[in-house]
Amino acid sequence: MPSAVWATAGLLLASNIFMTIAWYGHLKFKHSALWLVILVSWGIAFFEYCLQVPANRIGHGVLTAPQLKGLQEIITLGVFAVFSWVWLGEPVTAKQAVGFGLIIVAAVLIFQK
């Protein structure tokens, strides 16, 4: 596998950690003002973009845009499953895992020639 693909996957992993924190981290702080969690989420999302944009730039050419999106979805589901269990205390159920698995199968199909 080319080093550009590894670099892309690593950057996508890091960006998805920031994205997941920005999108779902505030759920533990429901008593905080909505405007405040929006601003904090935007601040966190800035770092997600600082990683996501280079990931797509590095990966495009070695991977197609649909393949980049498929890779991102696979990484996103893994990051979210861990985050949901560790941060929110909501482990993914068996049915949800099957659903995520089907989404991953769909994303993997994008890589088939």
Site of tokens 């935007």: 42
pLDDT tens digit sequence for 37-78:
999 999 999 999 999 999 999 999 999 999 999 999 999 999
pTM of the model: 0.89
Task: Return the pLDDT at 72.
Answer: 94
Domain that holds residue 94: 3-109
> Which of 20 and 1 is assigned the larger pLDDT?
20
Task: Return the pLDDT at 37.
Answer: 96
Three-class SS state of 12: helix
As for how many domains the chain has, the answer is 1
Handedness of CA 60, 66, 23, 25 (dihedral sign): negative
